[in-house]
Amino acid sequence: MSDTKRQVNFIPADRGACGYYRMIKPAELLYDYPDVDVTISEPSVYRLPSRDVLFVQRLLKEDLMKDFIQYKGNTKVIVDFDDAIFGKNVKIPEYNYKSDQIDVNVISSNMRNYLDKLADHVIVSTEHLKEVVSEYIPNERITVIPNCLKYSDWYFPYKDAPRDLSFFFAGSDTHYHDKKRMRGDFSDALVNYLEDKRVGVMGTKPQCLMKRYMAYPPVNMFKYAPYFYQYAGQYRFIIAPLEENEFNKSKSDLKYLESCAVGRVCLCTDFPGSPYENAHPLQKIPFGASEKEIKDIVRVADQNYNEILKYQYKYLQGRWLDNHLIDYLNVLDKV
């Protein structure tokens, strides 16, 4: 990197989880780094000539991609992706309400026609997503930077977990579809197992999943961490279910990280290529598990609760964003 400060602008696609974790938080930490002058734009606000480098999230629309190619000039463009909404083998599950809004074929065509000319480098959140993006741009121009948590946001004191078999889910309605009565990432066996348990849900209310649950209101991302800690702390387990499909293979293990940070064992779905494949073996629920198998897995996880918590805490130490700033600086060096 040169002696002159490089002017770097982060452009989130939104202020939700993706823009918050992938753009806003890295920019905040880089503010204090001496070799870069960092700014953050409003979501999807582009000022091409004004900065040396742009970190841009999810450039996918044809008109916008063509404009970047035409007008970027000497500005270096780094594009970040954290979901597979493109690719020859990818199909957004019908239970994900965004499947009605996103045309994978059109986006894949845009990626094929414009990404190589547009992007000087690409950042992705998982190794599997790197494989998908490599359909459109050479591997050497793709860097994996996993989703991470900022220490000052997510360091919490440990609170003892309740003893009852209680369960907490925090997620959006991309995991199920109430209007279509689709349980989505929640298997029938899991829903049946949870039916007579104490269950808390933070976010949208999944009417199609369970009859009894305590619903907590959604909050914006700037308040999310302390509220997640407060609400999840009232339950013994956090659940992170996923259906086995190509779209979910590119997802990150963010829900697992959040569970690690608040000191609750996360019960997560396991399948080949699952984002939770590095979780402790005793906390994994194989995709397609029966209600009896789920019951047995929960019982064993409950008996080994402290062992799993120690594993989770150690896992989290490698995923503090504060220790991953070198990854962003290395990408700057590549452009």
* Bridge partners, 166 (sequence order): 198
Banded pLDDT at 40 (limits 50, 70, 90): very high
Please list, in sequence order, all residues whose beta carbon lies within 8 angstroms of the beta carbon of residue 56, skipping any fewer than 6 positions away. Answer: 11, 46, 77, 78, 79, 80
3-state secondary structure of 191: helix
pLDDT in tens, 142-189: 999 999 999 999 999 999 999 999 999 987 777 877 778 788 889 999
Closest CA to 43 of 60, 26, 63, 58: 58
Q: Report the distance separating Cα 64 and Cα 46, nearest Å.
A: 10
> What's the mean pLDDT in 185-199?
92
Q: Tokens standing for 160?
A: 């003892």
Q: Which residue has the higher pLDDT, 211 or 229?
A: 229
Amino acid at 243: E
Q: For position 1, what pLDDT does the model report?
A: 44
Three-state secondary structure readout of 84-127: CCCCCCCCCCCCCHHHHCCCHHHHHHHHHHHHHHHCCEEEECCH
| Torsion over CA: 155, 174, 87, 11 (sign) | negative
Tokens 């959040």 correspond to what residue?
A: 258
Q: Report the distance separating Cα 221 and Cα 282, nearest Å.
A: 30
Closest CA to 118 of 65, 159, 166, 158: 65
pLDDT in tens, 48-87: 667 899 999 999 999 999 999 999 999 999 999 999 999 9
pLDDT in tens, 270-314: 999 999 999 999 999 999 999 999 999 999 999 999 999 999 999
Please list, in sequence order, all residues whose beta carbon lies within 8 angstroms of the beta carbon of residue 323, skipping any fewer than 6 positions away. Answer: none
Q: For position 211, what pLDDT does the model report?
A: 65
Fold of 151-317: Rossmann fold (3.40.50)
Q: Report the distance separating Cα 241 and Cα 204, nearest Å.
A: 16
Q: For position 18, what pLDDT does the model report?
A: 87
Q: Report the distance separating Cα 55 and Cα 58, nearest Å.
A: 10
| One fold for 6-148+321-334 and 151-317 | yes
Q: For position 17, what pLDDT does the model report?
A: 83
> What's the mean pLDDT in 323-332?
94
> What's the mean pLDDT in 320-333?
94
Q: For position 93, what pLDDT does the model report?
A: 87
Q: Tokens standing for 259?
A: 């569970």
pTM for the full model?
0.93
Sequence ranges of the domains in the chain: 6-148+321-334, 151-317
* Bridge partners, 92 (sequence order): none
Q: Report the distance separating Cα 41 and Cα 328, nearest Å.
A: 18
Residue 216 has pLDDT above 50, yes or no: yes
Three-state secondary structure readout of 19-71: HHHHHHHHHHHHCCCCCEEEEECCCCCCCHHHCCEEEEECCCCHHHHHHHHHH
Q: Tokens standing for 162?
A: 């309740």
Q: Which CATH superfamily is domain 6-148+321-334 in?
A: Glycogen Phosphorylase B; (3.40.50.2000)
Q: Report the distance separating Cα 309 and Cα 292, nearest Å.
A: 24
Across the chain, mean pLDDT equals 92
